[in-house]
Structure 1
Amino acid sequence: MGQAQPFRATALIVEDDHMQREMLCVLLEESGYDVIQCESAEAAERVLEKNARALCLMLTDVQLAGRMNGVELAHLAKGHNPKLDVVVTSGRPLMQPLPDGAKFWAKPWAPLDVLREAEIAQLS
């Protein structure tokens, strides 16, 4: 008889900048997360359609390649899973309203911010 696997929280990282995406993934993996990474909102939309309820945290940039931006993706994500911890980041002022419960982080943010948010999301 096999042993039960401990629960590992899952995060969705949506960032078209390869270096930022990799840094976020490493930080979260070292915090005990399983990480799904996407370059575009359209790729993230497919993940959300199949796995939104299994996610604890989504971090997305506002500016993404493709037809949808990170704010639109945040609304879509909250529609699929209202309890999902959503963080939207940008180096520019936010021009669209976020869905209820989503957070905005101005770039540059500190890696410690990511670790703190990961802890909050796991407790939710």
Structure 2
Amino acid sequence: MNAHLPAPSPVVLVVEDESLVRMVAVDILEDEGFTILEAANADEAWAILEGRADIGVLFTDVNMPGMMDGLALATLVAERWPHIRLVITSGRRGFGNSEMPDNGQFVQKPYRQIDLMSAIAHAA
């Protein structure tokens, strides 16, 4: 009977140290119906990941302060939580999708809503 109900949108963890950029990403994703969690660095993100089982997408910037950058975070997430889709962004350096851990997707900053949504849809 519930076969016609849409699948719930995944929870997205947005990891971005620049608060204004993080706010833009959150607005884009909320407009698309996603539930959003926010972290300013990889350490905060890791704590959130360990406490939540419902995260479906990690959207992280590469360059952040702290013990690890977004690429290292994504690599560890792929190892520990292989069901989480990975989307990585940077304004400083472009990456090919083949360089992403676990079939993740790369979105160059500044990104548009359509680019971000396409990356989430294509992340494995």
TM-score (norm 1): 0.80
2:3 match: none
**RCO higher in 1 or 2 (8 Å CA, sep ≥ 6)?**
1
1:93 match: 93
The one-letter amino acid of 1:115's match is M
1:116 aligns with 2:118: yes
Partner Cα distance (1:62, 1:75) in 2 = 12
Residues 15-94 of structure 1: pairs in structure 2 closer than 5 A: 15-51=16-52, 53-93=53-93
Query: Which piece of structure 1 moves more, 63-72 or 78-87?
Result: 78-87
Secondary structure of 2:29 counterpart: helix
The one-letter amino acid of 2:86's match is V
CA RMSD of aligned residues (A): 2.1
Extract structure 1 runs of 4+ deviating beyond 6 A. Answer: none
Partner Cα distance (1:64, 1:74) in 2 = 13
Shift of 1:91: 1.7
1:3 match: none
Unaligned runs of 5+ in 2: 1-6
Unaligned runs of 5+ in 1: 1-5
TM-score (norm 2): 0.80
Partner Cα distance (2:117, 2:102) in 1 = 22
Superposed CA deviations along residues 100-124 of structure 1, whole A, max 9, x for unmatched, are 2112222222121123344x27xx7
